[in-house]
Amino acid sequence: MTVPRVDFYVLPDQRANGRALLACRLVEKAYGLGHTVYLLAGSEAQAAALDDLLWTFRQDSFIPHERYPLVGEEGSPVLIGTVLPAEANAHVLINFTDRLPEGFERYERVVELVDQTPDVLAQSRERFRQYRERDCAPETHKL
């Protein structure tokens, strides 16, 4: 099993919707590059908010997505859920939770979203340490 690439994207501030908007921009970029994406939310309310935001965050953007678990057979290139599927069905995992995702190793790339909120910073530092303990070499990108 290969070790996934892990990237921490660090926002310079703590705007109310900053991390969610960053998630949408990263989903859009990954989708544009032909990657499939799984957006892991911390709660059903957060998943619903991200689902809504993907439709509206940019006027000229269209990102086909749906909630997991799927209602039908076919899945969109972007899925949003609160639990990871038993099998990795995406190239990129965007972690919008405050914990290390169980099973992150099944993805080619893991993305962490960080802002300057003290709790978010502390939890992100802990996940950074946990990734390193699992032989990953996380990279930090200050935005």
Give pLDDT tens digits for 46-62: 999 999 999 989 888 88
Predicted TM-score (pTM) of the model is: 0.94
Q: How far apart are CA 104 and CA 100, in angstroms?
A: 8
- pLDDT of residue 143 exceeding 80: yes
Taken in order 23, 39, 10, 12, the sign of the CA dihedral is positive
Give pLDDT tens digits for 70-105: 776 667 899 999 999 887 778 999 999 999 999 999
Residue 1: the pLDDT is 60
For the residues 103-126, what does the mean pLDDT come to?
96
Contacts of 104 (CB under 8 A, 6+ apart): 4, 84, 93, 95, 110
Give pLDDT tens digits for 7-46: 999 999 999 899 999 999 999 999 999 999 999 999 999 9
Residue 75: the pLDDT is 75
- pLDDT of residue 120 exceeding 80: yes
- pLDDT of residue 107 exceeding 90: yes
The pair of structure tokens assigned to 56 is 């509206």
Q: Which CATH architecture has domain 5-142?
A: 3-Layer(aba) Sandwich (3.40)
Q: How far apart are CA 26 and CA 111, in angstroms?
A: 9
